[in-house]
A and B are shown apart, each in its own frame.
Chain A
């Protein structure tokens, strides 16, 4: 048989525990010593720009200007890339079309166009030529110049006299 004192202690304890549990669940207060994490997320379409020179060196602190398709004259967004040449922005997906992104530092840079539709951004772009492609192109052009030099260097061949 539970006495009135025991019963009231149980009720008080249960009330305190329930209040603490509700408080923890609603306010997300971590227990002391627990490795609590708070990871929020939201779904958004973002554009990740990685700006680098063709030598592979990042365009540190390059200035980035983004133009929306609906108003290509007025910048939608301006910012500065980080020291690794990285810049991330979130375009307005209601503004469908080609978004122009200008990246510039020290008189070097480029303007790229990124197609944006209602729910996606078309693929990844850029990259340029591989080193092998560069070497092949350079070799072909050099051979063209060498050929030109040899052609003009060559002395005219005298026709052989049959007699």
Chain B
């Protein structure tokens, strides 16, 4: 679910770069304010590696195939660090494999990064408000699933809103985008469950990894 070069208008690509740059600066500023950024680097590096490699793993969902996005998981585990981590992952995917494009790194960073930040806040909110017994599981599921849902929604809105009027068959393109969006919906469940399982596992074996930047600040 990476938008490649030449698909969106140049104005949208440039505008996305500006907005993504501003959000990344805000995120990095928050990382620096927390004061424990270096402690978070190993976790961020490993999750960036996971994010980078998941674009190579295709899951067949007829009539197409999709790959894991990890935006919700990155947000839940990395907090504000998710935004620069996703940006680095996207740049490497574009350069190494041609996934996405160099002109569309901004818009792809928005599609995956903004939902990651939203998932981070949702995870922190639910984790602290829900009962201890199953609270972490529910928070992980909601954060992981909603991150994907929001990413898919942004992807759909941007592509539908930028279909060139001079395309041969606009309706056919609209149908194709809708079909691809629907094919991604099962990922909400898959990544929600995966995030819930991972946070539970980390709580048992290495609970300090669940301490985000906000915990360190408190």
Contacts and interface: CB of A to CB of B under 8 A. Distances in A.
B interface secondary structure, majority: helix
A60 B202 CA distance: 42
A54 B53 contact: no
Contact of A146 (B5, B45, B97, B177): B45
Interface band, chain A: 20 to 34
B213 to A, nearest CB: 15
B172 interface: yes
A57 interface: yes
Given A80-B169, A106-B173, A141 B92 contact: yes
Contact of A109 (B7, B45, B46, B97): B7
Interface string B45-79: 11011001100101000001100000000000000
A81 to B, nearest CB: 11
Given A107-B3, A107-B159, A107-B180, A79 B92 contact: no
Interface string A98-130: 000010111111110000000000000000110
B99 interface: yes
A63 B167 contact: yes
Interface string B1-27: 001111100000000000000000000
Interface-central residue, B4, B45, B53, B169, by most chain A CB under 10 Å = B45
B48 A110 contact: no
A149 interface: yes
B6 A102 contact: yes
Nearest to A131: B56
A106 to B, nearest CB: 4
Interface of B: 3-7, 38-39, 41-43, 45-46, 48-49, 52-53, 56, 58, 64-65, 92, 96-99, 155, 159, 166-169, 172-173, 176-177, 179-180
